[in-house]
Amino acid sequence: MRLDVVTIFPEYLEPLNVSLVGKARARGQLDVRVHDLREWTHDKHNTVDDTPYGGGPGMVMKPEPWGEALDAIIESGTSGTEDARPTIVVPTPSGEPFTQEIAVELAEKPWLVFTPARYEGIDRRVIEEYGDHYDVRELSIGDYVLAGGEAPVLVMVEAVARLLPGVLGNAESHRDDSFAPGAMADLLEGPVYTKPPEWRGRGIPDVLLSGHHGKIARWRRDEAFRRTTANRPDLIERTDPAAFDKKDREMLSILGWGPGEDGRFGRVAPDVEE
Ligand code: JF8
């Protein structure tokens, strides 16, 4: 997969040189190119922003540097082995929520171009213009406001890169991921433990030392229900109740959850502490 990032803060993307993404690059599984948007300016001050039409606070990124940058980068790909048409990813707080499902979709693309902005964002005509010729995805990593799109790019690239064939070792598979489509309903992962067996007077749940794989699997699922009901009740509420077996229903009942009029599960008793 080829990834291009266009930014006024190329140094913000340095983390792409380390860990999982850095190793995937070193192995040749990822071709990452970070570009300084100011290379496509022509004035003495390398201006990338201007005042907003209609007034209001802040500044808006000018369309010309983005147009020249995207044209040059897209042109550079037409001779390579990559698909000639990249998917363009625009991080923005007003975008569609970036989910595991979208990460899977993006991981299937041969070429992604990320356009992290600063200030109040990019002149709308850039998104319209490229949207007419390419697959443009405006995506948000969550309901909070950041100062720019660079951190969202790091988040999205890591979520995508770990899904590429051979990037994550065989030891760590994707199918147990919370939010993996088709994972155990839509449940959060429960707690995990490792050596030593006692630390600061705290032991390990006996069942994990029992060697009884069936009991361990049941305990893990119960803990997943504990965490999910406490932290993400919306995930339980939206689950088709057919996904819950008899023991799931027993655990949900202990946690104060039961089926409502429509059969879907909701809280029916006061909250239970984790
Ligand atoms: C930005 C450009 C974002 N979930 C999110 N919160 N804030 C942002 C974001 C993205 C781009 C810019 N400010 C200026 C904030 C995403 N994605």
Residue-wise pLDDT for 190-243, tens only, equals: 999 999 999 999 999 999 999 999 999 999 999 999 999 999 999 999 999 999
Residue at 169 is within a domain: no
pLDDT digits 0-9 by tens, 34-53: 999 999 999 999 999 999 99
Pick the last residue of a domain from 117, 135, 161: 161
pLDDT over 80 at 177, yes or no: no
Report the pLDDT averaged over residues 94-121: 98
DSSP one-letter string for 81-131: SS-SSPEEEEEEEEEEEP-HHHHHHHHT-SEEEE----TT-B-HHHHHHHH
pLDDT higher for 182 or 274?
Answer: 274
Residue 194 class from Cβ within 10 Å (0-12 exposed, 13-18 middle, 19+ buried)? exposed
Residue at 171 is within a domain: no
Residue at 83 is within a domain: yes
CB atoms within 10 A of CB 109: 19
How confident is the model at residue 4, as a pLDDT?
98
How confident is the model at residue 266, as a pLDDT?
98
pLDDT over 60 at 181, yes or no: no
Q: Are residues 60 and 23 part of one domain?
A: yes
CA distance 113 to 3: 6
Rounded to the nearest integer, the mean pLDDT of the chain is 94
pLDDT grade, residue 271 (50/70/90)?
A: confident
pLDDT over 80 at 168, yes or no: yes
How confident is the model at residue 171, as a pLDDT?
55
pLDDT grade, residue 83 (50/70/90)?
A: low
Pick the last residue of a domain from 135, 161, 187: 161
- Do 139 and 156 form a contact (C-beta atoms < 8 A)? yes
Q: What is the dihedral of CA 169, 172, 177, 180, to 10 degrees?
A: 40
Q: What's the CATH number where 64 sits?
A: 3.40.1280.10
Report the pLDDT averaged over residues 232-260: 98
- Residue 65, ligand 1, Cβ within 6 A: no
Q: Are residues 268 and 229 part of one domain?
A: yes
Q: Are residues 210 and 113 part of one domain?
A: no
Residue of 37, 61, 92 to mutate, ligand 1, most atoms within 8 A of C-beta: 92
Q: Are residues 214 and 95 part of one domain?
A: no
Q: Are residues 6 and 33 part of one domain?
A: yes
Least confident among 17-31, 102-116, 164-178: 164-178
How confident is the model at residue 183, as a pLDDT?
45
Peptide bond into 196 cis (omega under 30): yes
**Orientation of helix 150-161 relative to helix 100-107, angle to 10°:** 70
Q: Are residues 23 and 89 part of one domain?
A: yes
Q: What's the CATH number where 181 sits?
A: 1.10.1270.20
| Segments forming the whole domain that contains residue 204 | 176-274
Catalytic residues: 93, 120, 162, 177
Q: Are residues 153 and 197 part of one domain?
A: no
Least confident among 32-41, 81-90, 185-194: 81-90
* CA 17 vs CA 8, 32, 150, 266: distances in Å: 18, 9, 15, 45
Strands 135-140 and 87-97: parallel
Q: Are residues 45 and 94 part of one domain?
A: yes
Residue at 84 is within a domain: yes
How confident is the model at residue 150, as a pLDDT?
99
Residue at 203 is within a domain: yes
What are the backbone angles phi and psi of residue 113, rounded to the nearest 5°?
-120, 120
Question: Looking at the DSSP assignment, which residues form a beta bridge with residue 50?
Answer: 60
Report the pLDDT averaged over residues 76-94: 85
Residue at 39 is within a domain: yes
How confident is the model at residue 176, as a pLDDT?
54
Q: Are residues 184 and 144 part of one domain?
A: no
CA distance 183 to 163: 15
- Minimum-distance ligand 1 atom for the alpha carbon of 91: 17
CA distance 156 to 145: 16
- Minimum-distance ligand 1 atom for the alpha carbon of 95: 17
Residue at 155 is within a domain: yes
Q: Are residues 236 and 133 part of one domain?
A: no
- 31, HSE (Cβ side, Cα atoms, 13 Å): 10
- Residue 137, ligand 1, Cβ within 6 A: no
Report the pLDDT averaged over residues 79-99: 87
Pick the last residue of a domain from 108, 130, 161: 161
Number of folded domains in the chain? 2
Q: Are residues 116 and 43 part of one domain?
A: yes
Q: Are residues 187 and 124 part of one domain?
A: no
Percent of the chain with pLDDT over 70: 93
Residue at 19 is within a domain: yes
Residue of 5, 66, 146, 154 to mutate, ligand 1, most atoms within 8 A of C-beta: 146
The identity of residue 39, as a single letter, is: E
Single out the residue of 171, 170, 168, 150 nearest to residue 159, CA to CA.
168
pLDDT grade, residue 179 (50/70/90)?
A: confident
